[in-house]
Amino acid sequence: MIKKEGSFKYLEIKNISKNFGETFVLKNIHLDVFKGEFLCLLGPSGCGKTTLLRIISGLERQTNGDIVQDGLLISNSPTEKRDFGIVFQSYALFPNLNAKQNIAYGLENKKINKKEIEKRTNNLLRLVGLEKYSDQFPSQLSGGQQQRVALARAMALSPGLLLLDEPLSALDAQVRSKLRNEIKLIQKKLNLTTIMVTHDQTEALSMADRVVVMERGHIAQIGTPFELYKNPITPFVADFIGKMNLLKGKYDKKNCVFYYLNNRFLISQNTEYSFLENCLLGIRPEDIEIIKFRKNIEKEENILKVKIKEITYLGTIFRLTVVLESKLEENIFVDVISNQVISNNLKIGDFIDIKLKKEKIKLFESNL
C-alpha cells in the first residue's frame, strides 16, 4: 500500500501466537494495519486466517502476544469493549426483524435516541442500496441483499475497524462480483479500516490494498496484489496467487544456466540467486510463447518441444496443458489467446515448440 501523508498504524498485531494443546495454529504473527486500509488475510483452509480475525475481535483469546488498536492495548479486552463491526459468512440476521430493524438493533441496545437511530438507519439503507427493501424480512431478501443488511448493521455504530469473515463465499459468482465492487466503494467512501478473511484469490486481488498470504499458521508474504503476483518470494505464494509453472531442476550460478532434464534455460545475467543445487524454475502460463512455424529455432534460447495434452477454453484465452515427450508426467501450462489457437488449428496430440521468456523466469529454493 502506498501510504498517504498523515497515515498511521491503526492496528498493531505483535507476536501473536495461538495453540490448542500442542497444536500451533498461529506462530509469532507481526502485522501492522494502517488507517483506512483494506487488508485481506488470504490462504487455504487451516492456515490460521480466521483464528487471527477472531483474536482481533476478542472472540478467541491468543496464547501469546498483544494487539494495539488506535493506540490502546486491547489484548485482554472483552469483545463488547472493542471497537469493531463484523460481518460473518452466514449473515446472522434476526429472522423476526425486517432489514431496517436488523440494522437498528445495535443502536437500540446502546440506548441511542430514536431520532438519531432513524437518521443512521436511513443513511445506511441508502449507502447499501436497500431503501426500497427496508420493510422486508430476511426470508424475503436475496443472498446478496441479506449480505448488504449485515454490512450496514456492522457499520451502524460507526466502528473504527470493520472485520469481514469470508462474507461473499455463500453467494453465486455474479452476485459476488457485484458485491465486491460495492463493498470496496463503501469502504473507500467511509475511509474505514477493514480486514477481510478469504480463501478466494480473486476477491483478495480485486479488493485489497495489501494482501497477507498465510501458510500453516505464519505469514508467507505481505504486499500489494501487483507485488505478490509479479514478485512472489516462495513457491507457495507463487502458485497460490494466480497460476505458476514450477519445474524442478538444478541451477549453475557460474554459467547462469538452469538445467531441466537435458535442456537448458538461460537465466538473466543479473541473477542474485545464491543456491546452486536443487531449485524450482517458476514462470507464469502467460509468459510462455508458442512457436509452431519458425525456422532455425534450435538456435534460440529457452526452447522446448512439447506435446499438447489438453486444451481448456477460458474465454479470451485457451490454457494448453503440454508435456515434454521425455517426461510425460509433468504438466506445463501455457496461456494462448483464442485467435492464435484457432488460426493455427492447434489440437490435442500436436507437437509444438514453446519459448520461456527469460526475463520472466524466477527461481525458488527447493527443499524437495
Q: What is the pLDDT of residues 103-140, one digit of tens each?
A: 999 898 888 899 999 999 999 999 999 999 999 999 99
Q: Strand 161-165 to strand 85-87: parallel, antiparallel, or no bridges (unpaired)?
A: parallel
Q: What percent of the chain has pLDDT over 90?
A: 65
- The DSSP output letter for 301 is S
Tracing cell 426483524 back to the chain, one arrives at 97
Ordered by where they begin, the domains of the chain are 9-237 (3.40.50.300), 243-365 (2.40.50.100)
Q: What is the pLDDT of residues 3-53, one digit of tens each?
A: 444 468 999 999 999 998 888 999 999 999 999 999 999 999 999 999 999
Output the pLDDT for position 6: 43
Tracing cell 460473518 back to the chain, one arrives at 88
Do residues 230 and 270 lie in contact, with contact meaning Cβ atoms separated by under 8 Å? Answer: no
Do residues 164 and 195 lie in contact, with contact meaning Cβ atoms separated by under 8 Å? Answer: yes
Residue 286 neighbours by CB distance under 10 Å: 17
Alpha-carbon span 82 to 276, nearest angstrom: 51
Alpha-carbon span 181 to 24, nearest angstrom: 35
- The DSSP output letter for 310 is E
Output the pLDDT for position 3: 45
Residue 57 pLDDT exceeds 80: yes
- This prediction has a pTM of 0.89
Do residues 39 and 33 lie in contact, with contact meaning Cβ atoms separated by under 8 Å? Answer: yes
Give the residue ranges of DSSP H helices in 128-211. Answer: 143-155, 173-190, 201-207
Mean pLDDT of 241-267: 81
Q: What is the pLDDT of residues 193-229, one digit of tens each?
A: 999 999 999 999 999 999 999 999 999 999 999 999 9
> In 3D, which of 177, 176, 184, 220 has the Cα closest to residue 49?
220
Residue 87 pLDDT exceeds 90: yes
Extract the C-alpha cell encoding 185.
466503494
Alpha-carbon span 230 to 356, nearest angstrom: 16
User: Which residue(s) pair with 318 in the sheet?
Assistant: 313, 336
- In 3-state terms, what secondary structure has residue 320? strand
Alpha-carbon span 248 to 281, nearest angstrom: 7
Output the pLDDT for position 291: 82
Extract the C-alpha cell encoding 219.
505469514
* Dihedral sign, Cα of residue 20, residue 26, residue 28, residue 34: negative
